[in-house]
Structure 1
Amino acid sequence: MSFISFPILMILMAMISIQWGASFAKELFLVVGPAAMSGLRLIFAAAILLVIWRPWRTPLQKSSYRKIVLYGASLGAMNLLFYLSLDRIPLGIAVALEFTGPLSISLLQSRKPLDFLWAILATAGIYLILPVTDQVTPLDIIGILLALGAGACWALYIYFGRTAGQSENLGAVTSLGMMVAALVVLPFAFFYSDTSTVSLKIIPMAFLIAVLSSALPYSLEMVALRKIPTKTFGILMSLEPATAALMGYLNLKEVLNITQIIAITCVIMASAGAAWSDD
């Protein structure tokens, strides 16, 4: 296997892991609800990262704590809103809408004429998903808005993550940020879910989801990023909505109509185009 194909394989494995974890989590919504599942996932993900990185061994600047709190809060909100949207709309659609967050950052930072094409494609994709179009089974508007809200939080997560990680150890920032995210989501998990349904049988499943959705793909992506250009990484990550749609079909029996498939394709093309034209 060549030097370039192995890291590409790792990125594909990371995408499959994330979306497999998301589809597995959605199957458990009937038992514990999306808010509680989001809280459990973040708790275990934080515990795993804290054990791996041990941030208490790394002294941080006082000014960094505020940045880490903002980074973690946006991460927590992103996860909570995404799981709430997933409870209402198909996995592939939710991921495509969530992708508008980082895509917006990329397009806003660019001044190239070609990027207007990617913006138009992304807008067209969102429009086709909205229930204003002539669809046989229109999607839940609240689920759409929740997914778009998750995308906005993803954009904030990227911004605050870059700010917090500029002068600090990346592992310490990530693990502490994940801990903050768990603390932000916990009140919603308690007050908006029936916590009595959380049994010992759910705990190992939630731990597996945390590994699939956070620890494993994060590790694979970090290794892959060292071996391939950032542009290549961005283009490959654009395939995530397609991966989500595939996992939704295989694991959740979610069948998308032709309009929704075209909408996801528009978002993928816009995301890949923005990554390709990014210098």
Structure 2
Amino acid sequence: MASQAGSTWGPRISPEALFAAGAVSQYLGAATAVELFDDLGPATVALLRVAGAGAVLVLLRRSWRRSWSRTDLGWTAAFGISLALMNLFFYLAIARLPLGNSVAIEFIGPIAVAALGTRSVRSGWALALAVVGVVILAGFSPPAAQVGALFSLIAGTLWAGYIVLGHRVARSGTAVDGLGVGMLIGAVMIVPAGIGDVSTAFTAPVLLAGGVAAGVLSNVIPYGIDQLVMQRLPRARFALLQALLPVTATFIGLVWLGQVPNLREAAGIVAVIAAIVINRESEQPPVDLGP
């Protein structure tokens, strides 16, 4: 999928513009999910997102045609479960916390992976600054927002696991097939959390379509774009572009959901963005756009 996209889009669209398009798609999907929470609940929307995106990828790729070793399936399952739980806790977070705040808090995961992986002074300062941003965003918030911040931290921890496991899957050669199959396995694991309102979704086609659309916008499109971008940009440049993600999430939250950050929240988000920029030269593994 990425190679076909590369032959069509690559010569005409810069990788930076493609990354920005993927980021917008990612958080439009999140905003779409927020609009469904009143009818279906965050856990059910997460289940529909993961299952829907997994089904779309498996059907597009015809993943059942490839041979799967037990090792491949094991790593794919671990990867998919991490991804599904990450999505679940991300949705539980943004049900209680503005979108931009939640995304900024989550970045503690990828930055920690980079800091632990390189153990450089630069990455250490980046991690410290990210922690300051998280404290600003979470430490002085109302109780409901603090619960949302806790869920964001859990999602960020799972994002760190997703980075490590995702690279293991990519190196095994399963790549996009591993993503699709992994998401279906992960969807099974979060069924107990999200099953409650599934019957409502299946009796309301608009709600069901919204859940699947959230999966396509947040998983299928950004992942495909991300693979293309990583083919054309050095790792450090790709890591620097990650700073666009909290900005994009905050903008989408403002325009679509009417979530206006106050000065304290803006300061926390800026601290996390600065941490991402400082961290740009580390050996952070290229990752996709996260939750």
TM above 0.5: yes
Between 205-214 and 23-32, report the one with greater CA deviation: 205-214
Q: Assess if the C-alpha contact under 8 Å between 1:130 and 1:139 holds in 2.
A: no
**Corresponding residue for 1:57?**
65
Amino acid at match of 2:197: D
Alpha-carbon distance in 2 for matches of 1:109, 1:55: 32
Alignment of 1:192-231 (within 5 A): 193-198=196-201, 199-231=204-236
Amino acid at match of 2:210: M
Alpha-carbon distance in 2 for matches of 1:139, 1:124: 20
Gaps of 5+ in 1: none
**Corresponding residue for 2:128?**
120
The structure carrying a bigger helix percent of its residues is 2
Alpha-carbon distance in 2 for matches of 1:72, 1:160: 9
Alpha-carbon distance in 1 for matches of 2:12, 2:160: 29
Q: TM-score, normalised by structure 2?
A: 0.88
CA drift of 1:93 comes to 0.6
1:213-233 residue CA offsets vs partner (Å, 9 max, x unmatched):
111111111112111112211
Q: TM-score, normalised by structure 1?
A: 0.92
**Aligned sequence identity (%):** 30
Alignment of 1:43-54 (within 5 A): 43-54=51-62
Q: Assess if the C-alpha contact under 8 Å between 1:4 and 1:228 holds in 2.
A: no
Alpha-carbon distance in 2 for matches of 1:219, 1:164: 16
Alignment of 1:176-255 (within 5 A): 176-190=181-195, 193-198=196-201, 199-255=204-260
**Corresponding residue for 1:6?**
14
Q: Assess if the C-alpha contact under 8 Å between 1:58 and 1:169 holds in 2.
A: no
- CA-based RMSD of the aligned residues comes to 2.0
CA distance 1:267–1:5, shift in 2 (3 Å): farther
CA distance 1:4–1:108, shift in 2 (3 Å): farther
Instruction: Indicate the SS of the match to 2:26.
Output: helix
Gaps of 5+ in 2: 1-8, 285-291
Q: Assess if the C-alpha contact under 8 Å between 2:53 and 2:220 holds in 1.
A: yes
1:12-59 residue CA offsets vs partner (Å, 9 max, x unmatched):
000001011101110110111101111111111011110122222221
Residue of 142, 155, 158 corresponding to 2:160: 155
Alpha-carbon distance in 1 for matches of 2:43, 2:10: 43
Alpha-carbon distance in 2 for matches of 1:161, 1:219: 14
1:70-99 residue CA offsets vs partner (Å, 9 max, x unmatched):
111111100000000111000001111111
CA drift of 1:2 comes to 10
